[in-house]
Chain A
Amino acid sequence: MRSKVDSPMHPFAATSWSLRVRGSGYGSVVVPLVGALILVLAEWRTGFLRLTSETPLVMLTLISYLSGSLLFILHLAQRERLLERLGLFVCSLGLGLNLAAWGMRWVITGTVPLSNLYDTALIFAGGTTLSALVVSTRYHQKIIGAVTLPIATLLVVWAVLYGGEVVDLPPVLRSTWRPIHVGLAMSGYAVAALSCISALLYLLKDGVAIEAVGLPAMLFVVGAYAFVSGGTVVTDGVFTLPVSIHGARIPLDATRTEFLRATIPYAGRIFQLAFGLAVIAAGAFLGYVMVGKDLFKRIGHGVVRGALVVEAVGLGLLFYQVSRVQSVVSWLDPQQRGLLSDQWLQRVGAQMDVQFHSDPIAAVAVTAACGLTAFIAFFGWRGDQIIEALPSPRALDNLTYRAVTVAFPLLTLMVITGAVWANESWGRYWGWDPKETWALITWLIYGAYLHMRITHGWKGRRSALFAVLGFVAVLFTYLGVSFILPGLHSYA
């Protein structure tokens, strides 16, 4: 005789238990995993797809992630369950395509695709989507999938921007430790991305105003536009990209500090406008956070929406022009052009090419700025509904902690395998190389986060802030160190 026991516990508790009873619900995770595996194995054994490049799959992934993000956004606006289900389906499809694309690259190149930023961005995106789907399913909180999907989308955009040229690894990097080290790094990063998202949601749910999150976001946008193209966007309204011939940039001096650059028409002015709008939005958010006047809030969100449109137009125009360029020579800066002889220009002018990814910092900065603006605009538009729909702060805090407890051992293993690899190849396990140091910084931030939970008074917002900082450090280790700081890892 069983008495009825109600479970008044936690919103998650009942569903998860019933889930385990039925033993299903992970279809959205398992099906794409198995599907991608079968597809890749079949292509490997039979070559039936006759693929020479995984690019079509990458593009399909991007389309799936983008439309998945859109469906989730529409769901939040319309509260239509069909949209949510469709969103989940497309997201799951995207995961399958993403993993298949990465696997195909393995088949096509014949080595584990963990060699450059393109490879790693692809698997980083896949890992992020995978962990978001697992969490969504396990906790029946599709909102976490919805909010994480844009990060995966941005990562695939970066992969597309870098371009999937097959690189020849320097012989010294050919080691069994390489796929282990990089694989661990990417899995750790993917889970760290999830912990960052859930920490951000915790902050919002806990009552941190979206404007307070918007302020640093807009400051990043301001910084990004001030930084790209050597600062000329802000000062002159000019956006330039390096010119390349057969993939190599053209130095203008012996020390290789200055390179030949092409001015992309209109893009600079549009980005200048976006910069101005971001400054106004940041100011308005600052005003709202300090004074609390509703007017500031309204101005801030209005301007962010405007900035999003401007940035999207600017990016679109930039891509359109770069892909359709007829004569790069006509885009050259008159001053730089003066340094070159006319004969030389006539001879090589036709071979000149402009690629977005020849300036990876600009590519990452401009797309990340657009993504962040979209994030803030989205929360300004439907923030209250999203926050309403979020799980309790305690559940989000727990999710962040759980994600960090997975990410931290993975990052530890990453640092250790990196150290062992370095010791086996170069004879030193630690050399304070910038990438190593930043990996250690990330490790220490997460270490501090974990210890904060022991000490009273450092819980809650402060620890959530650390989880966000941890992921910022992850991103800087992944991208910033390679592009901005010199050192051993500067190839990838």
Chain B
Amino acid sequence: MAESEARVTANAEQVERSQSSIGFIDRALSFLSSVKLGITLMLLLIFFSILGTIIIQYNVDGFEKYYASLTPAQRQLYHMLGLFDLFHTWWFNALLILFSLNLILVSIDLFPKAWRYVAQPKLRATPGFLRTQPVHRSFRLPHDDGLVDRLTEVMRAFRWRPTVTINGPYTTVFAERGVWNRFVVFIVHIAVLVILAGAFVGSRWGYEGIMPLAPGETANAIRISGAPVLGIPDRMQPLPFTVVCTNIRVDLRDPDGPLAQGNFDNWYTDVKFVKGDDAVEATVYLNHPVDYEGYRFFQASFSPQAGEASDIVVEVGLPQGGQRELTLVRNKPVQVDGLGRITFVKFYSDFGFADGQPRSVGTDYKRPAAELEIVRPDGRRQRTFAFSPEIMTFIRTETNMAEKLQVGGYSFTLKEFTRAPLYHVLQVQYDPGVDAVYFGFVLLCVSLIAVFVFSHERVWAVIEKHEDGQTALHLAGHTNRNPIGFEKKFTSFVEALAPPGEEITSRT
């Protein structure tokens, strides 16, 4: 007896315990899915975002100066908490993930409620129910068989879709419009989640770096910069293809002005992407990125030093006497009858020798020269130089090149050239999440506008027949947005209906 009692108590305890654990999960879930938590998380995100702009982040211009102004204790503390790269710390990301989780759970929690609300509208209303609505009015009128028709007609004129239901002494005319508006909120939340997911993918598996390219240079990796002050080294990220720079060109505002930031109008990098046998040519310039194999190449900056040329004008001395001028763009072959195919391949701004090889020994266009490659009609490849007339004396007296300067009786003189910086710097982005982010952007724009421009409106009319030949007409309405605007609309609805009787109540 006592034993069984004890067992019962134990069972009860067990049940209680399991209930309390269910209770705990329930409580945790309802906490995680509460709008209040969402608002609190938003406030936390606001707080830390502000902190992240007050404490200058390591990748923002002016960080070195700011870092130098901190005390060693501050540096150590901020460093420990990751405040120099706050937006990429684990705890900030955890906050974002918690925020996403909250968004998902709130939506899961609210969706069935919204669904029930929309799927089961109150078709059999009573005057008592109508009085609980934010706007409602009642009239007493003489009995009229055409009242239901008149109600549906006016409701249709207001673009509400009516349904008539008879329920005992009451006839309910229920009408609504913009039901879908109840669900757009979920699309807004989905859009935010898509953006966050895309951003997560991008930050986890994507990267961005730079690629300096001089004309003629080949690169197959990008440099991802670290933060020297914080001890994060730069690293090289290999690419699955090769980038060949065929030429770099600039547009100057003042063509005779300096090759400096203020004088640049635009700058172009002609590249060739090579992957196996596949080669694609493209030009990267300002506000005109180029996509290749999921990578995006942007024009970012340029060398502060000049010293290259993008195109040249060469005077060709013909064997039979006389001359003709040729404009040669770097790496763009030009056919010259009798001579063959001629290509401008290399430029020297200050021609000289180092280790016995022709080199550019300076960067100030002191002794400009261009190296040309010529493919003769018989297929022989020959290299030669075009020097500017001023340095021909130097070439004749200081070098033994003078005899090499003729190809098949043709001679070459450099007349003009268009200056270019030593190299351009491309910014390279690899972001597998960017499409999702863009999709989220579009979804967010459309859904937000749809949410706030439209609303869900419901109106009820309950006709209550009295035995004395009188009819009571109760009208009520409800909306999810802009209640004051709806009140006005409801008033004009009543005016359009113009019930031929006296008003019983007129309260809002």
> What is the interface of chain A, defined by CB distance below 8 A to chain B?
1-3, 5-10, 12-13, 16-17, 171-172, 174-175, 255, 394-395, 398, 402, 405-406, 408-409, 412-413, 416, 419-420, 423-434, 437-438, 440-441, 444-445, 447-448, 451-452, 454-455, 458, 481, 485-488
Contacts and interface: CB of A to CB of B under 8 A. Distances in A.
A299 B209 CA distance: 62
B53 A16 contact: no
B337 interface: no
A430 B43 contact: no
30 contacts: A1-B500, A3-B499, A5-B503, A9-B487, A13-B484, A17-B492, A171-B286, A174-B286, A402-B482, A406-B452, A413-B445, A423-B434, A427-B298, A427-B428, A427-B429, A432-B52, A432-B57, A434-B53, A438-B49, A444-B45, A444-B49, A447-B42, A448-B46, A451-B35, A455-B39, A458-B39, A481-B53, A486-B60, A487-B61, A488-B61
B199 A430 contact: yes
A428 B224 CA distance: 14
A13 B487 contact: yes
Contacts of B264: 171
Contact of A452 (B39, B62, B208, B444): B39
Interface in B461-499: 481-484, 487-488, 491-492, 494-495, 498-499
Top 9 A-B residue pairs of the complex, sorted by shortest distance between their CB atoms: A427-B429, A486-B62, A405-B452, A434-B53, A432-B87, A427-B298, A2-B498, A448-B42, A409-B448
A434 B482 contact: no
A424 B289 contact: yes
B428 A398 contact: no
- Of listed B441, B483, B484, residue having the most chain A CB within 10 A: B484
Interface of B: 35-36, 38-39, 42-43, 45-46, 49-50, 52-54, 56-57, 59-62, 65, 87, 199, 208, 264-266, 286-287, 289, 296, 298, 300, 427-429, 434, 437-438, 441, 444-445, 448-449, 452, 481-484, 487-488, 491-492, 494-495, 498-503, 506, 508
A132 to B, nearest CB: 18
- Of residues A174, A398, A486, which shows the largest number of chain B Cβ atoms within 10 Å of its Cβ? A486
A429 B46 contact: no
Contacts of A485: 53-54, 56
Contacts of B499: 3
A445 B46 contact: yes
B87 A427 contact: no
B59 to A, nearest CB: 8
Contacts of B49: 437-438, 440-441, 444
B434 A454 contact: no
B112 to A, nearest CB: 16
A428 B209 CA distance: 11
B488 A13 contact: yes
A416 B427 contact: no
B428 A451 contact: no
A485 B438 CA distance: 28
A409 B35 CA distance: 20
Nearest to A170: B261
B217 to A, nearest CB: 21
Q: Counting chain B CB atoms within 10 Å of each CB, which of A12, A255, A427, A448 scores highest?
A: A427
Contact of A437 (B52, B266, B300, B494): B52
A454 B87 CA distance: 29
Given A398-B484, A419-B441, A451-B35, A9 B289 contact: no
Contact of A448 (B39, B287, B429): B39
Given A437-B52, A440-B49, A412 B444 contact: yes
Contacts of A6: 503, 506
B35 A429 contact: no
Nearest to A419: B441
Contacts of B495: 5, 17
Contacts of A419: 437, 441
A486 B61 contact: yes
B484 A395 contact: yes
Given A420-B438, A427-B428, A3 B57 contact: no
Contacts of B428: 427
A136 to B, nearest CB: 16
Given A171-B266, A437-B49, 11 more contacts: A5-B491, A5-B498, A13-B487, A174-B287, A416-B441, A423-B434, A424-B289, A427-B427, A432-B57, A437-B53, A444-B45
Contacts of B59: 431
B506 A444 contact: no
Given A425-B298, A432-B87, A455 B35 contact: yes
A14 to B, nearest CB: 8
A3 B491 contact: no
Contact of B287 (A12, A398, A424): A424
Contact of A438 (B53, B56, B61, B298): B53
Contacts of A2: 498
Contact of B208 (A395, A428, A487): A428
A440 B42 CA distance: 11
B42 A420 contact: no
Interface centre among B50, B441, B483, B506 (most CB of A within 10 A): B441
A262 to B, nearest CB: 26
Nearest to B264: A171
Contacts of B87: 432, 437
Nearest to A431: B59
B503 A455 contact: no
Contact of B296 (A174, A412, A427, A441): A427
A468 to B, nearest CB: 15
A398 B483 contact: yes
Nearest to B65: A255
Given A171-B266, A409-B449, A486-B60, A7 B287 contact: no
B293 to A, nearest CB: 15
Contact of B427 (A7, A408, A426, A430): A426
Count chain A CB atoms within 10 A of each CB in B52, B87, B445, B448 and give the residue with the most: B448
A429 B103 CA distance: 22
Contacts of B437: 419, 429
A417 to B, nearest CB: 9
Contacts of B265: 171
A437 B55 CA distance: 13
Contacts of A440: 49
A425 to B, nearest CB: 5
A184 B481 CA distance: 24
Contact of A427 (B289, B441, B498): B289
Contacts of B53: 434, 437-438, 481, 485
A420 B441 contact: yes
B197 to A, nearest CB: 14
A451 B508 CA distance: 26
A331 to B, nearest CB: 29
Given A12-B484, A416-B445, A455-B35, A434 B60 contact: yes
A2 B503 CA distance: 13
Given A17-B488, A412-B444, A437-B53, A9 B508 contact: yes
B290 to A, nearest CB: 11
B267 to A, nearest CB: 9
Contacts of A452: 39
A447 B488 CA distance: 27
Nearest to A452: B39
B479 to A, nearest CB: 12
Contact of A428 (B43, B429, B502): B429
A444 B49 CA distance: 10
B490 to A, nearest CB: 8
